[in-house]
Amino acid sequence: MLHLLSFLTLAQVSPATPLPETTAQLQPPQTQITVPTAPDRNTPLPEIGPNWEQPQETIIETQEIRALPGQLDRVPVFNSNSPEVVYNEGILVSTFPSRGMTAPNAHLDLPLQGRFDIFAHHIARGRTEAEWRPIYHGILVYNPNPQPTTVYVLQGLSYVTNPDAPFIDLPPWVENQDGTVYSGPGSRLANDILRGLHQSQFPRQIVIPPRQSRMLLNAPIRLGNARSTLIRAQSDNPVYMASLALHAPILEDNKNPETTEDVEGAKFDIEIEPEIPPTPVPHRAPTILEWETLLVQGYLATPRDRAPTTPGAKISELVYGRVAGVARGSQWQAVVTDEENTEHLTIPRPGAAFSYPISSLDDGTLGTQQIQSAPMLVRYPDTAYLANGNYGVRYYLTMPLYNDSDRPKTVAIAMQTPLKREDGDRLYFLEPPDNRVFFRGTVHVRYYDDRGVLRSRAVHLVQHRGQKGDPLLTLTIPPRSERQVKVDFLYPADATPPQVITVETLR
């Protein structure tokens, strides 16, 4: 076997121009914070809606739909989301050079340096009744340089469905000030990143000797579960990275297991119950040598997701594809005003509204022609052309709302999930909405209340396709006055774009 370390002494990293630095500084948490315990899942929940047995009606709201000011920053994002469902061992994403590798097409040859993010979201499943071992997700980082390299982990979180963040039914709108309301790993991850949490499994820095590798993540996914991971990192030298999948190795001698897992509750794509051994077979986490062997000798994980539609193709069914590669852009920060070089966002007249698309994409711009999806620096030919969905991207919007009238006005700010139409100046909703969750996550809002006191609110939303949604916030603005509102959230991993942020003057 050609060992990874000997191989990569041949594939020297070129002193190419480093990737551009970020235009918005991330403030890492100053102290180690313990991730809070999940709430009691046995507590009865309020009755949730909508009632899908009712006849469905399309509601058309005629209003202005504006392109969202600002743009994505230039921070590269190592993005591992294809294949989303992992059945077999293999390479998910590799930025290593292809020279000397068994499957050259599995390696994208792009070193990362300076600030970068790592986003991954995968589901593990079995294909036969005999499969029960969890699939391990590994993120490997390699130092090809002749000197030690330090990778700083500014923030890192990884959640798996069970036991970390089970999917549970939640009402459409729930206060979430303490961060204990979530449903699924994407929902919990997005909120906890904003709250500055950091898990101790991620060291604050890793010093990698010359031409050696280290694991940033080596974590199991029980079959039928999903794992969402987001790491904000910085490297003082170029590094190569790989996202990999391996079945948990069986312990042959049953001695000193690195980890063992109970296989109860595993889910499969088949109806037959799996032949689980009477006594669970001890198994362990893969070693770094096993990960390196897979990287050098392995192939792209199969089965593959559906290949995306070629941009510009005129077909009835557009396939976006799943993302695998390196995207450019981890944050969209903007001051939302009437026009460029203006200071205010003038509220609409009473009874009127305007909206800004969030995570808009090709054939989903809501008439604005603005595609917010992050461009791909490198990708596989059968994966998405853009980072559609902007999963893990932070939206941080400042709205200096201005009442230009001589009377107080009451304004509502809402996130909504309209139907994907390109008519322009119209939003289409369903009453009741479809029985398909399109957004599941927490939105943070900061504002000054009617007494001038700074308030902060966190609201967990569950929105279905076509759902108009209740306001995040309602406030009164005095005549000829400005009231600043900040809207802050990470686009969660299991959402379906686009959404809109709507400003409506109620009276």
Q: Which of 229, 156, 244, 154 is nearest to 186 (CA)?
A: 229
pLDDT exceeds 70 at position 462: yes
Q: Is 294 helix (H, G, I), strand (E, B) or coil?
A: helix
**Token reading at 219:** 């974590």
pLDDT exceeds 90 at position 449: no
Q: Which of 318, 352, 356, 351 is nearest to 337 (CA)?
A: 356
What is the separation, in whole angstroms, between the first and last Cα of the chain? 73
pLDDT at 4: 58
pLDDT exceeds 50 at position 209: yes
Q: Is 194 helix (H, G, I), strand (E, B) or coil?
A: helix
pLDDT exceeds 90 at position 349: yes
| Residue 282 DSSP code | P
Q: Which of 225, 240, 287, 285 is nearest to 93 (CA)?
A: 240
Better-scored residue on pLDDT, 136 or 251? 136
pLDDT at 128: 80
pTM: 0.85
State the Cα–Cα distance between residues 184 and 442, nearest whole angstrom: 12
Residue 78 carries which side chain, given as an amino acid letter? F
pLDDT exceeds 80 at position 44: no
Mean pLDDT, the chain, integer? 86
- For the chain, which residues make up each domain, given as ranges? 83-297, 331-505
Q: Which of 430, 492, 433 is nearest to 461 (CA)?
A: 492
State the Cα–Cα distance between residues 147 and 208, nearest whole angstrom: 9
Summarize the confidence of residues 57-62 as an average pLDDT. Answer: 94
- Percent of the chain predicted with pLDDT > 90: 76
State the Cα–Cα distance between residues 87 and 276, nearest whole angstrom: 18
pLDDT exceeds 50 at position 19: no
Residue 167 carries which side chain, given as an amino acid letter? F
pLDDT exceeds 80 at position 457: yes
Summarize the confidence of residues 387-408 as an average pLDDT. Answer: 96
Q: How far from 87 is each of 204, 277, 300, CA to CA, in Å?
A: 32, 20, 12
pLDDT exceeds 80 at position 91: yes
Contacts with 250 (C-beta within 8 Å, 6 or more apart), sequence order = 133, 281, 282, 283
Least confident span in 9-23, 205-219, 321-335, 452-466: 9-23
pLDDT exceeds 50 at position 427: yes
Q: Which of 113, 67, 18, 26 is nearest to 331 (CA)?
A: 26
**Token reading at 429:** 């909703």
Summarize the confidence of residues 126-152 as an average pLDDT. Answer: 93
Confidence of residue 253 (pLDDT cuts 50, 70, 90): low
CB 346 within 8 A of CB 115: no
- Percent of the chain predicted with pLDDT > 70: 84
State the Cα–Cα distance between residues 303 and 87, nearest whole angstrom: 7
Q: How do 76-80 and 374-379 pair as beta strands?
A: unpaired
H or E element at residue 6: helix 4-8
pLDDT at 131: 83
Confidence of residue 307 (pLDDT cuts 50, 70, 90): very high
Summarize the confidence of residues 335-357 as an average pLDDT. Answer: 93
Least confident span in 42-56, 146-160, 255-269, 411-425: 255-269
Q: How many Cβ atoms sit within 10 Å of the Cβ of residue 77?
A: 29
Q: Is 358 helix (H, G, I), strand (E, B) or coil?
A: strand
Better-scored residue on pLDDT, 316 or 395? 395
